[in-house]
Amino acid sequence: MVAAGSGAVAAGRESAVTVRASLPLFRKPSVLPGFGLTLGFTLSYLGFIVLLPLAALILKSSGLGWSGFWAAVTTPRVLAAFQVSFGLSLAAALTNAIFGFLVAWVLVRYDFPGKRLVDALVDLPFALPTAVAGIALSALYAPNGWIGRPLDELFGLKVAFTPLGIAIALTFIGLPFVVRTVQPILQDLPPEEEEAAASLGASRLQAFSGIILPAILPALVTGFALSFARGVGEYGSVIFIAGNMPGLTEILPLLIVIKLEQYDYAGAAAVGTAMLGVSFVMLLILNLLQQWMRSRHAR
Amino acid sequence: MAIQVSGITKRFNDFTALDSVDLEVRSGELLALLGPSGSGKTTLLRIMAGLESPDAGGLLLNGEEALGLKPRDRQVGFVFQHYALFRHMSVFENVAFGLKVRPRGQRPSSAEIRRRVAELLELVQLSPFAGRYPAQLSGGQRQRVALARALAIEPKVLLLDEPFGALDAKVRKELRRWLRKLHDDIHITSVFVTHDQEEALELADRVVVMNQGRIEQIGTPAEVYDHPASAFVYEFLGQVNRLDCTVEGGIAHVGGGALAIATDGGVQGPAVAYVRPHDLGVTPAAGGPARISGIHVVGPDARIDIDLAGLALEAEMDRERLATLGIVAGDRCSVHIDRARVFAR
Amino acid sequence: MPADTVTGTSVPMPPVRSALSEPGWVRILLIGGALLFLALFLLLPLVAVFAEALHRGFDAYWTALTEPDAVAAIELTLIVAAISVPANLLFGVAASWCVAKFDFRGKNLLITLIDLPFSVSPVISGLIYVLLFGLNGLFGTYLRDMGIQIIFAVPGLVLATIFVTFPFVARELIPLMQEQGSDEEEAALVLGASGWQTFWRVTIPNIKWGLLYGVLLCNARAMGEFGAVSVVSGHIRGETNTMPLHVEILYNEYNFVAAFAVASLLAMLALVTLVVKTALEWRFGDELAATRH
């Protein structure tokens, strides 16, 4: 591709332009310089940093052969980790879909003191290093922590070192995804549709479920999917609060780390590949679902 | 400086933007490229500037082959449709840009640059706005900054892409007059692109009417308006009655014989006759073949809808003449055609 | 793929329309619910970091921060960021130039590939480099014979950090430059500017705030990254431990005050990032792609 690019650039400099017509038109000619240079650098950098290493992952796990790969990713411990990672990410993403929507709604529709500060705070999980979030949540929800102690004493509820703790960490990590995808859509919602509904005698609740919710549902699903995908891969904020008991609170990324520490490179690669594969398929399904919803709402 | 375009062809994938176009721009004239969107006029202008390169053909600037030259070596000034002012530079910096980027040897001193920019801002009547940024200017002011910036490099040719396209009607008219006056003062060879026929006819020395990548007609505004060379030019320039007809022996019969038009010969059989509304005469006649179906007075002029045996026609006259005729809607009348052009179908 | 860059903060409230407003008690209930949720899930963890860091007093806090291993971790974090952020800055500018200013085949695929690292788990981001450059990796034997160490050394940390922060600058600049179009660059070229003059005098000033925004987010992630560097680091105290990794070690040794002390520095970095980011969005919202929607 790089070669074709510089070829087109060279042809562009000549005035004998008939040459170019016979070349496959790789790019639309432009008077701006630097195409070959920047595309060449972009592709080399992308290839070296991203594509080559990811290819190594696939290569390593394919070294096991299909049956070896299958055996590596279907051991009870791996299956349990799949269940923990995907199940709890799903729970956290659902929580975020509800509360993230609430936060976006309040930020867009209502005025209250300190609103801008609250709005800025929503991005905290993006900015706060995951390890910091991990130890902070762990300290809060530990049996002697600020929240963990009252929960334990009043309700006998243990959070840290249980699946509930993992769900809480994943909720923390995923919240901004929902807020930041729903917020702009809610902001741009034309008020006329709601006013029309009100003038036709619909109650607020009817206007909400009939007008607002269908309009923002695609964005909500996107936010949900982003939150979910982030949860499946999350490592730093989870491992401190999880307790990391195999089969119960052991997440997939941790399992990969453990396999690496045991020098089981092929096993680690197999789990990693499977994880990428499953995430990819789920995101694909959600994408299709979203497209379907969008086309329905557009009609 | 004269520009010679010969056999320029340009395709974008399957779309032919320019189909073997030949054109000569005379030194010192103000030329309009007029046509609907997609007619290739902007592409032709960009090829002259070196912003696009053609698939085939040749381009001479002042007799010298120019296709191999980069835009910076062509000595053309280009005014972009949306002005493309540098948004982070003040008016002064925008106008000075072309001088400041010159190689060290050819760059004027900063005092000289200041003097030249001040002169140009004076010319475009923007001296008090030198320190403003593009976002702080009105559309018309931005347009003039763009012009001053293009003139700063002392181009041999000035190319303007829809120079008044983004302005409202009143400013557009003022700027049009102003640009014509400016051209009369500095006499730089100029080509501008427009889809607005009124603009082209009022402003240009010569008009090039383009359609689907080809040139339909080249001529002075009076020539193209009064003697359109093709059916397209007739329909594109001004209001026109389009009448299906059959030509036999030099006479075009319209509406099954309701109207007969003498033609200048050449066409036989099925054809289309074009008649300008002001070339359509109306005479009140009690038993006339036509009927006045409506009269609309628009400012000083009157538009008269006529029904001629089921054929809808439009005539135009001033209000004085309307009063003299004393016609009202519903009256019967006869029509006669002062001038028409017939093209084979 | 983080929506870090999809914010809508600087947009003013639409005027309240009476037909579109809920009863007062509903509003208060919803606002209260949202604030309680945010306080519990976002604010409290942040407060906890500083409270835990300082609960043995300021002296203990200061001691924990000035202890040699902590200082080494801080230095290493700065070094890693100082290499990976400029690398991704360069890449981001080059990628957005060719994507935004030119039309070519496979452009959409390229944009998708640039976003790819955001959808890869941090642990896998580290794992892939171990598989390439680790002792048992694809090039392991070769590198050992050459005497080059990448994994469990600084180069590995840098590579993993570059991977996880790969898209930040590019994904801010691409939409921004696409929206700005090429008109100003063309104008500069016609006025006689060279390619470099056009780039430095026209393009860069137009994208400078977007560039800063992308670099800010890139830097925050580079300094705070945990999962990816954890896999390639080897956890050698004072040598290959970045600040987040140092936090982990201290925490696992039950040295909570020291762990939270180092964590508080990272939390401050996060707060500074948020403040600057918010300030950029308020002041230069119309010059950032991130605030458009």
Q: Is the pLDDT of residue C17 over 60?
A: no
| Closest residue on chain A to B57 (Cα) | A17
In the prediction, which pLDDT does C96 show? 96
Instruction: Name the A residues in 161-180 with CB < 8 Å from any C CB.
Output: 168, 171-172, 175-177, 180
Residue A298: which pLDDT band, with cuts at 50, 70 and 90?
low
pLDDT band of residue A26 (cuts 50, 70, 90) is: low
More confident: B246 or A21: B246
Per-residue confidence (pLDDT) for residue C290, from 0 to 100: 67
Burial class from Cβ neighbours inside 10 Å (0-12, 13-18, 19+) for residue C280 reads buried
A184 touches chain B (CB under 8 A): no
Weakest mean pLDDT among A88-102, A188-202, C220-234 = A188-202
Distance of alpha carbon A227 from alpha carbon A220, whole angstroms: 10
Confidence of residue C20 (pLDDT cuts 50, 70, 90): low
Three-state DSSP class for residue A25: coil
Q: Among candidates B154, B124, B153, B151, which has minimal Cα distance to B140?
A: B124
How large a percentage of chain B has pLDDT more than 90? 51
Which residue type does B174 have? E
Q: Quick one: average pLDDT of C18-34? A: 82
Q: For residue B207, give the H/E element and its range.
A: strand B206-211
CB contact under 8 A, A42 and C110: yes
Angle at C212 (CA atoms; ends C209, C215), nearest 5 degrees: 150
Chains that touch B (3 or more CB pairs under 8 A): A, C
- Cβ within 8 Å of A, C 115-174: 116-117, 119-124, 127-132, 134, 136-138, 159, 162-163, 166
Determine contact, residues B168/B89, Cβ cutoff 8 Å.
no
Name the burial class of residue B215, with classes exposed (0-12), middle (13-18) and buried (19+) by CB atoms within 10 angstroms of its CB.
Answer: buried
Query: Stretch B208-213: mean pLDDT, rounded?
Result: 94
Domains, chain A: 65-298 (1.10.3720.10)
A12 touches chain B (CB under 8 A): yes
Both structure tokens of A158: 């243990």
**pLDDT for residue B135:** 93
Share of chain B above pLDDT 70, in %: 100
Chain B: residues touching A (Cβ < 8 Å): 11-13, 50-56, 65, 67-68, 70-71
Average pLDDT rounded to a whole number, residues A178-199: 87
Whether residue A176 is predicted with pLDDT greater than 80 in this model: the reply is yes
Classified as helix, coil or strand, A177 is helix
Q: What is the pLDDT of residue C8?
A: 38
pLDDT of C293 > 60? The answer is no
Alpha helices, DSSP H, located in chain B = 41-49, 91-100, 110-123, 139-152, 169-186, 197-203, 221-226, 231-236, 319-325
Is pLDDT at A121 greater than 90 in this prediction? yes
Measure A35 CA to nearest chain B CA, in Å: 15
Shortest alpha-carbon distance between residue A40 and chain B (Å): 23
Nearest to C255 by CA among C266, C243, C268, C246: C246
**Residue A299 has what pLDDT?**
46
pLDDT band at C6 (very low <50, low <70, confident <90, very high): very low
Best residue in A2, A27, A42 for a mutation probing chain C (most C CBs within 10 Å): A42
Domain architecture of chain C: domains with CATH: 58-291 (1.10.3720.10)
CATH dotted code for B3-235: 3.40.50.300
Residue B150: what pLDDT? Answer: 94
In the predicted structure, residue A256 carries a pLDDT above the cut 90: yes
**Number of DSSP helices (H) and strands (E) in chain C, helices first:** 15, 0
Look up residue C15 and give its DSSP letter.
P
**Distance of residue B10 Cα from the nearest chain A Cα, in angstroms:** 10
Q: Determine phi and psi for A281, rounding to 5 degrees.
A: -65, -40
Q: What CATH class does B239-344 carry?
A: mainly beta
Confidence of residue B201 (pLDDT cuts 50, 70, 90): very high
Q: What is the DSSP string of A258-271?
A: HHHHTT-HHHHHHH
Q: How confident is the model at residue C292 (pLDDT cuts 50, 70, 90)?
A: low
B239-344 matches B3-235 in CATH topology: no
Q: What is the CA radius of gyration of chain B?
A: 25
Phi/psi for A34 (5° steps) reads 90, 10
Q: Decide if pLDDT at A106 tops 80.
A: yes
Find the CB nearest B56 among A12, A17, A25.
A17
Q: Can you give the pLDDT at residue A43?
A: 95
**Predicted-assembly ipTM surpassing the 0.90 threshold:** no
What's the confidence (pLDDT) of residue C19?
Answer: 54
Residue B329 pLDDT grade (very low, low, confident, very high; cuts 50, 70, 90) = confident
Residue A18 has pLDDT above 80, yes or no: no
Residues of chain B contacting residue A24, judged by C-beta atoms under 8 Å apart: none
The number of angstroms, rounded, from the C-alpha of B317 to the middle of its chain's C-alpha atoms is: 25
> Are A29 and B51 in contact (CB < 8 Å)?
no
Q: Is the pLDDT of residue B108 over 50?
A: yes
Across the range C85-110, mean pLDDT stands at 94
* pLDDT, tens digit (0-9, with 9 covering 90-100), for B122-172: 999 999 999 999 999 999 999 999 999 999 999 999 999 999 887 888 888
CB B54 within 8 Å of CB B8: yes
- Chain C neighbours, 3+ Cβ pairs < 8 A: A, B
pLDDT at B241 over 50: yes
Tell me the one-letter amino acid at A272: G
C68-99 exposure pattern, b = at least 16 Cβ within 10 A, e = fewer: ebbebbbebbeebbebbbebbbebbbbbbbbb
Residue C18 pLDDT exceeds 80: no
List the structure tokens of C218: 């890139």
In this predicted structure, the answer to whether residue A9 has a pLDDT above a threshold of 50 is: no
Rounded mean pLDDT of C4-16? 43
Dump pLDDT digits (tens) for C131-143.
999 888 888 888 9
Q: Is B82 on the interface with C (CB under 8 A)?
A: yes
Domain ranges of chain B: 3-235, 239-344
Calpha distance A110→C14 (Å, rounded): 10
How large a percentage of chain A has pLDDT more than 70?
Answer: 90
Top-confidence residue, A7 or C82: C82
C7 against A85, higher pLDDT = A85
